[in-house]
Amino acid sequence: MAVFDHPEFDQHESLHFVHEPDSGLKAIIAIHSTALGPAAGGCRRWQYANDAAALTDSLRLSRGMTYKNAIAGLKFGGGKSVILADDAAPKSPELFRAFGRAVEGLGGRYVTAEDVGCSVDDMRYVKEETRHVSGLPQSGQSAGGDPSPMTALGVFHGIQAAAKARLGAESLKGLTVAVQGVGHVGLNLCRLLHEAGAKLIIADVNREHLQQARDELPVTEVAPTELLYSAVDVLAPCALGNIFTSVTIPKLRAKVIAGAANNQLATPEDGARLVEHGILYAPDYVINAGGIINVAHEYYGNSSKEQVRADVMRIPDRLDAIFAKAEATGQPTNVVADEWARRIVASGSSESAVAI
Ligand code: NAD
């Protein structure tokens, strides 16, 4: 399994392979950059086809976190951890304590939180071993806890910005939005979209999640592949990444793609393919930064929920700036965002000090 020659290796500062036989923990912690602060990014627990797939995911996701945190104006670098799910080592308090010890061993260079496959409860066990963890329940009006409602809030306002830019829509009333995945973020997003008068089409592979959405909201349910190719105003991917490829893009009929899933483009070139098909793409790590903004406020402390919301509400402005530059230069939005993020990291200062 090549590491330094890996196509996704991008000057990552360090990679940590963790094996703890008693709990069965097998994990990779990838630190892409600490230029702007400790490398922050969630912990994903997933059944990977093999170790190489887990390595690829950790490399890509950690670099994405560097870019996400830079454009979100956070004092965080980029990192990510993946726990290789294994039927022989099911979720257990000891598994997450062992993971917490591994995080603690990095001395604060990496800050973790929950991501796909991990919950607030799991992070409580991590917290027993390290203080470099966020996404834990907080008391009163203090910032923190499950980041997904803030992710959904940022995505919702990002969808409004994208719909205005591509469709000239002043509101989402009457627009059709297809939401792929109605888990933590997707369901919260559906609630906000419904309140705003959007029509909802949903798909998920988890029956319970579908049932919960159906019980609560007027939704049209379709099969996952059908949803991807539906003729809708907005397609909001809120499941997993790698969905926009040279094979899927020609079949898409949405006008806007704006959703929470990380790494939606299989390759950077897929951004240009979306442009060719007349689709406006809201770069995933810009629109889905609400959760990490919540995590940052919790980690650095002394913030209120209102301060988090105010910060999340800056996401649509950043998207507007990206859309405008893409329009003016003819570059795909993902290229504009990546270049901006790299300049912010290189400057070592905040996104507000670095012109797009
Ligand atoms: P989740 O696990 O709660 O929800 C994901 C949902 O997608 C699940 O219901 C799952 O069954 C469904 N799903 C999986 N494969 C599918 C498929 N092929 N078609 C349709 N549905 C499918 O995860 P989440 O926390 O809601 O995160 C969703 C996405 O957003 C992930 O890519 C995550 O990395 C990203 N994200 C989440 C946050 C956050 O705050 N939770 C922040 C930023 C980015």
**How far is CA 22 from each of CA 90, 106, 110, 149, 318, rounded to the nearest angstrom?**
12, 20, 23, 35, 46
Fold of 148-288+319-342: Rossmann fold (3.40.50)
Q: What is the pLDDT of residues 274-327, one digit of tens each?
A: 999 999 999 999 999 999 999 999 999 978 999 999 999 999 999 999 999 999
CA of 353 to the centre of ligand 1 (A): 33
Between CA 191 and CA 264, with CA 177 as vertex, the angle to 5 degrees is: 100
Instruction: Tell me the catalytic residues.
Output: 80
CA of 116 to the centre of ligand 1 (A): 6
d(CA 186, CA 192) in angstroms, rounded, equals 10
Of all protein residues, the one whose alpha carbon is nearest to atom 8 of ligand 1 is 183
Residues in the chain with pLDDT values less than 50: none
> Amino acid identity, residue 339?
E
Of all protein residues, the one whose alpha carbon is nearest to atom 2 of ligand 1 is 116
d(CA 116, CA 190) in angstroms, rounded, equals 18
CATH superfamily of this structure's domain 14-127: Leucine Dehydrogenase, chain A, domain 1 (3.40.50.10860)
CA of 240 to the centre of ligand 1 (A): 6
Nearest atom of ligand 1 to the alpha carbon of 182? 9
**How far is CA 6 from each of CA 64, 144, 241, 267, 296, rounded to the nearest angstrom?**
16, 35, 19, 14, 30
d(CA 37, CA 79) in angstroms, rounded, equals 11
Of all protein residues, the one whose alpha carbon is nearest to atom 15 of ligand 1 is 239
CA of 328 to the centre of ligand 1 (A): 33
**How far is CA 290 from each of CA 144, 213, 303, rounded to the nearest angstrom?**
11, 22, 15
Which of 91, 86, 163 minimizes the C-alpha distance to 121? 91
For the chain, how big is the Rg over CA atoms in Å? 19
3-state SS class at 290 = helix
Which of 236, 239, 290, 278 minimizes the C-alpha distance to 262? 239
Nearest atom of ligand 1 to the alpha carbon of 147? 40
Pocket around ligand 1: residues whose beta carbon is below 6 Å from it?
A: 115-116, 147-148, 151, 180-186, 203-206, 209, 224, 238-241, 260-262, 288, 291
Of all protein residues, the one whose alpha carbon is nearest to atom 10 of ligand 1 is 181
What pLDDT does 87 receive? 86
The tokens of 259 are what?
């959703």
Q: What is the pLDDT of residues 83-122, one digit of tens each?
A: 999 888 899 999 999 999 999 999 999 999 999 899 999 9
14-127 and 148-288+319-342, same CATH topology: yes
Of all protein residues, the one whose alpha carbon is nearest to atom 35 of ligand 1 is 261
Which of 126, 66, 135, 136 minimizes the C-alpha distance to 102? 126
Residue ranges covered by each domain of the chain: 14-127, 148-288+319-342
Nearest atom of ligand 1 to the alpha carbon of 243? 18
What pLDDT does 169 receive? 98
3-state SS class at 51 = helix
d(CA 177, CA 9) in angstroms, rounded, equals 35
Which of 29, 45, 38, 133 minimizes the C-alpha distance to 86? 45
CA of 330 to the centre of ligand 1 (A): 31
Largest Cα–Cα distance of the chain, in whole Å?
57
